[in-house]
Amino acid sequence: MMGSLASLLTFLVIWASPVDAGAQKIYRISALLAEEQFLPAVDGFKKGMAALGYIEGKNVRYGIYNAQLDRKKLQGFAEKLVREKPDLIVTSSTTATVPVVKLTGGTDLPVVFLSSGNPLQFVKSYASSGNNLTGISAAALELTAKRLELLKDLVPKVKRVASLSNPKGVNYQSYVAAVREAAKQNGLTLREVSASNREELRRVMGTMRHTAVHAILVEPDVLYAATIDVIVEYSILEKLPVIPTLITQVRKGALATYAPDYFALGEQGAKLAHKIFKGARPTDLPIELPSKLTLVINLKTAKAIGLKVPKELLVRADEVIE
């Protein structure tokens, strides 16, 4: 009898051991992007996760969905992700976050946004989202005044600024209010212009020579992330400085900006994901501000528009493109 019991126990140990040893959970993470210029945030997130021990193909799998500025595709991807119920949904940009917020409202499906220009439109407060979200603010609206200060440092005689915004964008109302206040603080006259697609943008940029503005400030919107080539083309033709909201836009020819590094935002977001996987609720994780802000100046563009960048700004810059 004892021998039979011992044999049974041995069998159970042998049967159970491989399961226990190999029971390492494989986390499924789905990332939703509105446009490819937000990919650095996802790359940074994956690097940050790897540093925390989440190795792709071993204990984590990623699905990356890029809507390429197609809102129907973005909505379809969002619906697909929610149906599949991954362990975590990651978004980059407010535009990509909004449909996920609507579809996951009232659920416990965790969402981490790696960048949002205006997170207060879908969370209760920075201290607590009050829902299934947490993430990082890109501080796009908060940095509006700072970017106008940068413009004044670059072009001391600037008086009139064109503010380019997308009336169909998710940040439009908040941005318009922020830029009006920032212009007032900096003693600048604002001329508000708008475009909601590439064709409209070409028409608007083509009229800049008749507006007597000294520079262009660009709204944080995925449309302008994807069409910065149009803005740069006309701005160089008209010798107008452009201050956008993304570092990638400066690398593609805009003059300068003061902004978070999206790769660094992704690395920062990985720490939030790790806390969630360890049992924390998104609502208990405060919305974070960027841990790093970067001053980027495109010296090549400055030369093309006939602008001499002050030496003290070049010394302060984190990145100078030549």
What DSSP letter does each residue of 149-189 carry, written as one string?
HHHHHH-TT--EEEEEE-TTSTTHHHHHHHHHHHHHHTT-E
Buried b (16+ CB within 10 A) or exposed e, 191-208: eebbbeeeeebeebbeeb
CB 115 within 8 A of CB 265: yes
Place of tokens 């400085």: 241
Task: Return the SS3 of 129.
Answer: coil
Longest dimension (CA), the chain: 100
**Which residues of the chain fall below pLDDT 70?**
1-23
Place of tokens 């005044």: 145
Q: What is the pLDDT of residue 6?
A: 44
Token output for 170: 């998710």
Q: What is the pLDDT of residue 170?
A: 86
**What are the structural domains of the chain?**
24-138+261-292 (3.40.50.2300), 144-260+294-321 (3.40.50.2300)
Kindly tell me the burial class for residue 170, based on how many C-beta atoms sit within 10 Å of its own C-beta (0-12, 13-18, 19 or more).
buried
> If you write DSSP's letter for every residue of 55-107 in order, what string do you get?
-BTTTEEEEEEE-TT-HHHHHHHHHHHHHH--SEEEEESHHHHHHHHHHHTTS
In DSSP terms, which residues pair with 103 in a beta bridge?
none
* φ, ψ at 192 (rounded to 5°): -85, 125
Q: What is the pLDDT of residue 233?
A: 96
CB 51 within 8 A of CB 279: no
Instruction: Determine the length of the chain.
Output: 322
In DSSP terms, which residues pair with 235 in a beta bridge?
none
Helix (H) / strand (E) element for 250: namely helix 247-251
Sequence-ordered strand ranges (E) for 184-265: 189-194, 215-218, 242-243, 256-260
Token output for 175: 């941005």
In DSSP terms, which residues pair with 193 in a beta bridge?
164
Token output for 55: 């190795």
Q: What is the pTM of this model?
A: 0.86
Place of tokens 């941005």: 175
Dist CA 81 CA 62 (whole Å): 12
Indicate the residue type of 241. Answer: P
Dist CA 82 CA 85 (whole Å): 5
Q: What is the pLDDT of residue 23?
A: 66
In DSSP terms, which residues pair with 90 in a beta bridge?
31, 112
Place of tokens 């990145």: 319
